[in-house]
């Protein structure tokens, strides 16, 4: 890579107006637009902007979907339905698309892009979408993190030079690692929204640093190998390639599957040189959407493009994603409906997975960047050059199982495990109450591995052991969690003891329930025979 050291001076705009300001044609401006993209919107700016654009636009309805740790109400725009309630939205029988941003509050381009999209909708643009779509737009998810603005958040990112929020929420939790354990009120609110409104498509807007490449934006489908195959194929083979092709044709921007090259900044690595995607576990939002039998789409604008470029690239990506959803709305509903109706009982699903390369190497466009300096802090930032350096390399942009387990008929959860019951309720997983049948399978714990370090306030655990059949279990009152339900894949990953992202991995059970020589407290009704 080539780097040039360039000192730049960018004047911070003193006394800039907030998002309520008007631009040409008396249209409201976001705080980013009003400051020539020197600043990003604060929570009050976003709320004021959304109130302004929805005030005289009957097609847009402003509601809320929960509160943050510090009590900030999370705004939600509903477009394409007569009412803003989940019942009104689902009654339309249209394809429902949820787009949310600012889960990491230093990655602010999605927040600005969605405000601009809301303004477009209020002004009558994209009206054709409404014949088959309902949009649910949540621009400022990590609202508490958004208010912790500092000039040194997101080191190396090219603005906004007026500062940006922090990555975690007010609890110090990364909300994009919280979709399974639901430790944050924001996570519980967003998953409750998914359960109530049941969007067919979930789009999560981010900004990425890392490897210096030539892409304005990178993207990813759900990466967990338990994602329904038809949903995975639609995204990888048709939807995302169509979006990339359209953006290249209309905007001249290259976009690609999310990835990084190990050692690109000179750090030590033993990994072979290749293009690696991120993580397949469902703690990440779009992976989680896949386990709900829904289309998850991750957008990652490029940190080393200008703030304005990032906002505009994100907005264009969302527009093209929604254009495809509009053109294929019936197919999207069909594929999600088929996934919901298909039983997974007896299937062999993944418990743990690792990267898997595509059959052939692909062309990756690497890039160059200059080092520039923040005009106030003098901290270095990277600024992309408009160069493309082609390199053909393996693309490890999917995951393959390294450990599998047969899906049972049901799990049997003792009602006394209140922490598990709360998670089942939080995710919307169906269960009934009944008496434990026989035979059942119990997991005998041989040993327990506990992580040395905490992550997200938990010390991860891994159980080692085996299943045994119990033919004479005494009758007991249990919560029966059937796997023949739309959220069966999610229930499997949550409750199976060897899952790499379930209640054991997240230490959601008391320590005395997870000891060598004891049985895992959640039992299961075995499937009659393996299907595949």
| Domain coordinates in residue numbering, the chain | 58-344, 407-525
Three-state DSSP class for 413? strand
CA–CA gap between residue 503 and residue 496 (Å, rounded): 8
DSSP conformational letter for 282: T
Predicted local confidence at residue 127, as pLDDT: 98
Tell me the helices (H) and strands (E) count for the chain, helix number first.
13, 22
Whole-Å CA distances, 346 to 30, 293, 349, 521: 52, 18, 9, 22
CA distances from 380 to 8, 139, 247 (A): 10, 29, 31
Report the pLDDT value the prediction gives residue 267, as an integer from 0 to 100.
82
Q: The pTM is what?
A: 0.95
Q: Supply the Cα-derived Rg of the chain in whole angstroms.
A: 24
Q: Report the b/e string of 511-528 with b at 16+ CB within 10 A.
A: eebbeeeebbbbbbbbbe
Q: What pLDDT, on a 0 to 100 scale, did the predictor assign at position 7?
A: 33
Supply the DSSP symbol for 475: P
Instruction: Return the pLDDT at 474.
Output: 79
Instruction: Calculate what percentage of the chain has a pLDDT beyond 90.
Output: 89
Going by pLDDT thresholds of 50, 70 and 90, the confidence category of residue 475 is confident
- pLDDT in the model for residue 5: 32
Res. 338: pLDDT tops 80:
yes
pLDDT tens digits, 201-240? 999 999 999 899 999 999 999 999 999 999 999 999 999 9
- 3-state SS track over 196-263: HHCCCEEEEEEEECCCCECCCEEEECCCCCCCCHHHHHHHHHHHHHHHHHHHHHHHCCCEEECCECCC
- The answer to whether 381 and 157 have CB atoms below 8 angstroms apart is yes
Q: What is the CATH code of the structural domain delimited by 58-344?
A: 3.40.630.10
pLDDT higher than threshold 80 for residue 529: no
**Percent above pLDDT 70 for the chain:** 95
Q: How far is the C-alpha of 126 from the C-alpha of 181, rounded, in Å? A: 37
What's the gap between Cα 164 and its chain centre? 20
Tens-digit pLDDT profile for residues 428-443: 999 999 999 889 999 9
Band of pLDDT at residue 14, cut at 50, 70 and 90: very low
> 382 and 156 in contact (C-beta within 8 Å)?
yes
Residue 428's Cβ-count burial label (10 Å; 0-12, 13-18, 19+) is middle
Residue 530: predicted pLDDT? 62
3-state DSSP percent of the chain in helix, strand and coil, to 5: 30, 25, 45
């Amino acid at each position: 890579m080539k780097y040039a050291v360039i000192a730049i001076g960018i004047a911070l705009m003193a006394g800039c107006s907030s998002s309520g300001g008007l631009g040409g044609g008396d249209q409201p401006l976001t705080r980013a637009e009003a400051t020539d993209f020197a600043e990003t919107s604060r929570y009050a700016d976003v709320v004021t902007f959304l109130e302004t654009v929805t005030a005289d636009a009957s097609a847009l309805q402003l509601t809320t979907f929960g509160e943050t740790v510090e009590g900030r109400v999370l705004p939600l725009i509903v477009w394409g339905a007569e009412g803003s309630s989940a019942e009104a939205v689902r009654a339309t029988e249209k394809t429902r698309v949820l787009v949310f941003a600012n889960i990491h509050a230093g990655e602010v381009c999605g927040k600005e892009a969605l405000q601009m999209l809301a303004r477009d909708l209020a002004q009558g643009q994209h009206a054709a979408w409404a014949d088959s779509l309902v949009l649910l737009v949540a621009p400022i998810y990590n609202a508490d993190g958004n208010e912790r603005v500092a000039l040194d958040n997101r080191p190396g990112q090219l603005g906004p030079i007026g500062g940006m929020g922090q990555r975690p929420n007010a609890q110090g939790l990364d909300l994009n690692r919280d979709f399974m354990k639901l430790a944050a009120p924001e996570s519980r609110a967003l998953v409750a929204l998914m359960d109530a409104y049941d969007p067919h498509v979930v789009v999560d807007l981010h900004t990425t640093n890392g490897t210096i490449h030539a892409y304005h934006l990178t993207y990813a489908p759900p990466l967990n190998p338990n994602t329904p195959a038809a949903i995975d194929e639609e995204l990888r083979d048709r939807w995302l390639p169509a979006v990339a092709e359209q953006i290249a044709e209309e905007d001249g921007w290259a976009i690609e599957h999310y990835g990084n090259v190990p050692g690109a900044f000179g750090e030590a690595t033993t990994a072979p040189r290749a293009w690696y995607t991120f993580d397949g576990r469902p703690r990440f939002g779009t992976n989680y959407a896949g386990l709900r039998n829904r289309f998850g789409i991750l957008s990652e604008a490029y940190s080393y493009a200008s703030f304005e470029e990032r906002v505009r690239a994100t907005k264009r990506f969302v527009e093209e994603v929604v254009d495809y959803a509009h053109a294929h709305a019936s197919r999207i509903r069909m594929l999600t409906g088929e996934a919901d109706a298909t039983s997974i009982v007896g299937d062999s699903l993944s418990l743990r997975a690792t990267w898997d390369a595509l059959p052939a190497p692909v062309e990756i466009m690497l890039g160059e960047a200059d080092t520039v300096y923040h005009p106030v802090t003098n901290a270095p930032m990277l600024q992309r050059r408009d160069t493309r350096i082609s390199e053909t390399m393996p693309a490890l942009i999917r995951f393959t199982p390294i450990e599998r387990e047969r899906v049972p008929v049901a799990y049997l959860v003792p009602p006394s495990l209140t922490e598990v019951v709360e998670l089942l309720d939080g995710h919307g997983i169906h269960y009934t109450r009944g008496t434990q049948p026989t035979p059942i399978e119990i997991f005998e714990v041989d040993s327990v591995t506990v992580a040395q370090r905490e992550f997200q306030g938990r010390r991860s655990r891994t159980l080692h052991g085996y299943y045994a059949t119990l033919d004479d279990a005494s009758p007991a009152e249990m919560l029966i969690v059937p796997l023949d339900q739309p959220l069966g894949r999610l229930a499997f990953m949550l409750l199976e003891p060897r899952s790499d992202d379930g209640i054991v991995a997240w230490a959601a059970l008391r320590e005395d329930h997870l000891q060598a020589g004891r049985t895992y407290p959640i039992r299961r009704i075995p499937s009659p025979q393996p299907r595949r």
